[in-house]
Amino acid sequence: MMKEVPEPVRSKFSELRRNYAFPIVLRRINDHYYVYKQISKRNKELNKTEIVETEYLGKITPIGVFVVKGIKNPENEIEVAKAVILAHGGKVVMPQIDEGRAYETESGDHYTELDMKILKNLTMNGRMPTSFMARKLGVEEKRVENRIARMEKELGIRYIPHIKLEKLGFIDFLVFVKFFERKPNPEKVKADLSKIPQIQFAAFTNGKYDMILHIVAESNNDFSIILGRVRNLDSLVNITSRWYATNFNATKGFIPLRDEIFEVLREKVWSRTRESPRPAESQLLKSEYWVLKELNNNGAAPFAEMERKGNLAKGSAKHAYDRLKEKDIIKRVSITCGKLRIKYNAVIIIEIKNQKAFWNSRERFLEYILEERSTAYTDRFALTGDINMPEGVIFIMPVFSEGDAGMVVEELTKVVYGINVYQLIITEVLLGHVPYRKFDETYSSQYERLIALYKKEQKKQEDYGP
């Protein structure tokens, strides 16, 4: 890789390697160069040293300037001064911003408090009528329509359904892969993985693991068969690697379904027979299947359009949608923002090492997850879920500023006891995506646990309509 690095970057990195008392690595992510502390561990089984985790130190600009973690812009003298003052224990007091004025978000764009409320309402119900939202927010409907149109264009808002496949008999799995000696060709891996409809998300990463996959299957045996297909793909079969698999339970956020999964879901469509006079809980009516498929393509599509395209009776699409929500197969129609100035995505993995210590600090852990930044138009963690091998929690978070993920790792180690925390950096998404949105935390499972386990006072939940 070093041969491809620009000379100023290579020269600065060589200088840093001489100055640091511990091993460091240089990583190229989206044509930017980042420096990480390398923490290694001896693998007795393979009789070799492996990188087990890394810690972000800073970035090297194209002209060879090393920007230490915590300084957002080396040309901005105020940022540099603030970083120096804070590093020496001082306090920085900046002019206060009038809360009634526009917020400046991570993207650098300005959005008002009304915009933030609209984003939250769209996240909680992407099919909410603008008339309902306008009455709820106490503003004119035309104003809401104009704000939505503007943000749809600027933020790349798409409307997507949160479909709960577990209600149809599916199980979620995460697979972590470590490659040895060499990594496979990304384009070939992407082409091969796309042929397997059960894979909903795949990405290359840097850190302890080199690839992460999200797979849905109807049983453990079904998952083993699918995983066998993946491991024997032409792009992967000859790569020396180690594979780790675990059950996954999303507790906040979700991974949208690829259109290809509907090839598998077609088998869930019920047909009346003597042996099957009525559909089972894990089966779908033809109209329900069609509505799910159309919503997955466009969560805001009008019901009349679905009926026309699927040759359905008038009113049947809305009726099917209501049944799907009643059965909790559709949790809600939500949104994702596709035009954000995200530097990269980080995967943060928490391994529980001491159950008692972890449970003693779990209340603080839940509160930490629920911390909301009023001026951010996306959740800090796009996805949160439980894993069981190793037992722990996984986050996927969008990184807007250098060091954000490292800061979360540091904060978690201070807030939560009995854990080991490390991060991966997503260097390339191969399949699927994770939604970026602004969720109402009072509807999250973490908030429900705080109320149930720690008797917290429950806030009144907002009404987001049917």
pTM over 0.85: no
> How many angstroms separate the Cα of 274 from the Cα of each of 45, 280, 288?
57, 14, 22
Dihedral, CA of residue 280, residue 282, residue 285 and residue 289, to nearest 10: -170
Smallest Cα–Cα separation from 393: which of 377, 381, 405?
381
pLDDT score at 80: 46
Which tokens in the block code for residue 85? 């003052």
Mutual orientation of helices 303-310 and 286-297 as an angle, nearest 10°?
120
Residue 17 CA to residue 25 CA, distance in Å, equals 9
Residue 233 CA to residue 239 CA, distance in Å, equals 10
Residue 370 CA to residue 7 CA, distance in Å, equals 44
10 Å CB burial of residue 348 (0-12, 13-18, 19+) is: buried
Low-confidence ranges of the chain (pLDDT < 50): 71-80, 83-84, 86-89, 94-101, 103-104, 108
The string of pLDDT tens digits covering residues 326-370 is 999 999 999 999 998 888 999 999 999 999 999 999 999 999 998
Give Rg (Cα) of the chain: 24
Amino acid occupying residue 364? R
Instruction: Give the CA diameter of the chain.
Output: 79
Residue 276 CA to residue 270 CA, distance in Å, equals 8
Are 173 and 246 in contact by the 8 Å Cβ rule? The answer is: yes
pLDDT score at 73: 45
The string of pLDDT tens digits covering residues 277-313 is 898 989 999 999 999 999 999 999 999 999 999 999 9
> How many angstroms separate the Cα of 222 from the Cα of each of 171, 173, 179, 266, 282?
10, 11, 24, 17, 16
pLDDT score at 28: 80
